[in-house]
Amino acid sequence: MVNAASTGLSTRDLYLFNQGELFHSYRTFGAHPIRSGEKQGVRFAVWAPHAKQVRVSGSFNHWNSENHAMELVGETGVWSLFVPGIGPGELYKYEIETLEGDWLLKSDPYAFGAERRPDTASVVHDLTGYKWRDEEWQKRKVNGSPYNEAMTIYEVHLGSWKNKGKEQFLTYEEMAGELVEYVASMGYTHIELLPILEHPLDQSWGYQVTGYYAPTSRYGSPEQLMILVDKCHERGIGVILDWVPCHFCKDDHGLRRFDGTPIYEGTDWKRAEKPIWGTLSFDFGKSEVQSFLISNAIFWMDVYHIDGLRVDAVASMIDLNFDKPPELHTFNRHGGSEYLDAISLLKRLNETVFHYYPQALMIAEDSSAWPAVTSPTYMGGLGFNFKWNMGWMNDILRYIELDPNERMHHHNLITFSLVYAFSENYILPLSHDEVVHGKRSLLNKMPGTYEQKFAQLRLFYGFWMTHPGKKLLFMGGELGQFDEWKDAEALDWMLLDYPLHLAMKDYVRTLNTIYSNQPPLWERDCDPGGFEWIDVHNAAQSMIVFMRRGLTGNRFTITICNFSYQHHAEYRIGVPESGAYRTLIHSEDAVFGGSVQEVPRLLRSSDIPWHGREYSVAVEVPPFSFQLLTYEGGAGVERLV
């Protein structure tokens, strides 16, 4: 046993780690190229509190660890060793002798790099050499507010957006060219990456992690990932990372029983097991686990300039018995099923992230009815700033799959979301989870003929884009894919050879552009004063009409949706102002594959009271159509004709 000073470790840092308060623990743990005295080498540090001994085995010692035993630092449970004469690129693992005398071979929980699967060694890496060029982006973020800004998120699985063949992936750097330019050209404001933390199984899509501090080597080096993020920022695109603190996989080289005992998952096996996923939950009440997880969130923002995290499966964290059979149920000290330690961790996580990164996006993927998820912790909330609106998503997908003749009986599915739309700061997700496992693609969820499917998908996208809440669309949705997402293959880009699919892509791009240019559609997403129903009760005709208001002046848009087969040659809607209304987009415009050859671009109001308003406009409404109008004003509108 040695003291911290002799290892180059900070006594204070190790104390904070044991207290759950070392929020940059990645600077202490793992493999760090450093100079010790006159010698250059690598310092290794690992937490293994119940190990009898720990050694470092690697390429530098031909995987013979006999001469590289680590030393226990005080009473901290931390082991350390400085190895002179080695540097970045070395492969290594920890050999750990358990209390029973067994030997385990483990990857480094804090490794900055990893071998490409199926190999599992950690890789020494120096993350300090990259020269970032995103100063302008960082300054812009400081002056912004995500609540009243446009946000259209393109959700991407890097392995299957495009590839070169089976398991022949594009690199992060190649994505920095092709993917980023595509996303920018389509008008998205953000990219959200399915988890890129190192994971052993491709089919897990990254949601079962072994290397929390290592970007997966499937797509190249850490520096190449930095290039990808940097390029996104250069093009004005934010980067959100799917992050998975709810569980980890059981692979032998990973965190499970790391030192022969359950130090990451905890000793209560019923609480640790997640049987539906075959994984283990973290012990969220353990101080060192808190340091590990909160530091990991900070790490991706510190080192890779990630703009935000979408925190996966929050419902499974805050409920001790989420999707567990009765024999695995456990209860908290009050007799309830709330996982109090997980709730405390999430609050502390968000407080810490916003302390260091006030403009960060912390997004909860939460399917529960837990209240105040996006309220500050000082008001009793969990402290996230956005939450996926799973209720809206489930209702609208259920509605849109109905036979149009049945929709009149389920009108509440498209209106109910506005009852609670402002109770949280919402993102409206059309994510990967909705286009896999037999759920069908978005296009194939639509009933009817080939042309009707496209018409309804255009209608659906229009409703989604103008409904309060930020937007997220999984890759391929813009192409009108017929097939479900195939995680081992590239998207069906050949569909763009067919007119309706190409037109769908153009339609989505146009929607994104109009959305970004119309502040009423996003300035007051979190404010009930920014939304107003015009026609909400017309279930018989499956019609809805609503208005979105901006922050300044008399700026508003009007959304008209017809979810039925019916054609209305003259459908009258009440409007709040006299004057001219311009059609911003019409989903049945022939340029998007629709049936209307010439869209009326300018509509004039009449002094005919309607829908409780003094004025009204008459609109032709085709079947399965969406129209978006904007108010142009009263006097002087002749110049617009």
Q: Which residues are catalytic?
A: 312, 365
> For residues 429, 433, 439 and 443, what is the CA-based torsion angle, rounded to 10 degrees?
50
Tokens in use for 213? Answer: 């501090």
Which amino acid is present at 337? Answer: S
Give CA–CA dist 167/159, Å, rounded. 8
Rg (CA), the chain: 27
For residue 316 the two structure tokens come to 């499974």
Sorted by sequence, the CB contacts under 8 Å of residue 445 that are 6+ apart come out as 397, 400, 401, 439
Calpha distance 594→415 (Å, rounded): 26
| Angle at 524 (CA atoms; ends 461, 419), nearest 5 degrees | 70
Distance CA 633, CA 641 (A): 13
The answer to whether residues 83 and 91 touch, using CB atoms and an 8 Å cutoff, is no
% helix / strand / coil in the chain, to the nearest 5?
30, 25, 45
Structure-block tokens of residue 45 = 């540090």
Residue that the structure tokens 């909330």 belong to: 381
Q: Which two tokens stand for residue 442?
A: 């978005």
* Distance of alpha carbon 171 from alpha carbon 175, whole angstroms: 6
Q: Are 127 and 88 in contact (CB under 8 A)?
A: no
55 neighbors 70 (Cβ within 8 angstroms): yes
How far is the C-alpha of 451 from the C-alpha of 463, rounded, in Å? 19
Token look-up 């911003």 returns 584
Nearest to 253 by CA among 210, 207, 199: 210
Are 452 and 400 in contact by the 8 Å Cβ rule? The answer is: no
Pairwise CA distance, residues 573 & 581, whole Å: 12
What span, in angstroms and rounded, lies between the C-alpha atoms of 199 and 55? 24
Select from 89, 93, 82, 5 the least CA-distant residue to 42.
Answer: 82
* C-alpha dist (Å) from residue 595 to 141, 455, 499: 42, 9, 14
Task: Report residue 609 CA to chain centroid gap.
Answer: 45
Residues in the chain: 641
Distance of CA 270 to the CA centre of its chain: 29
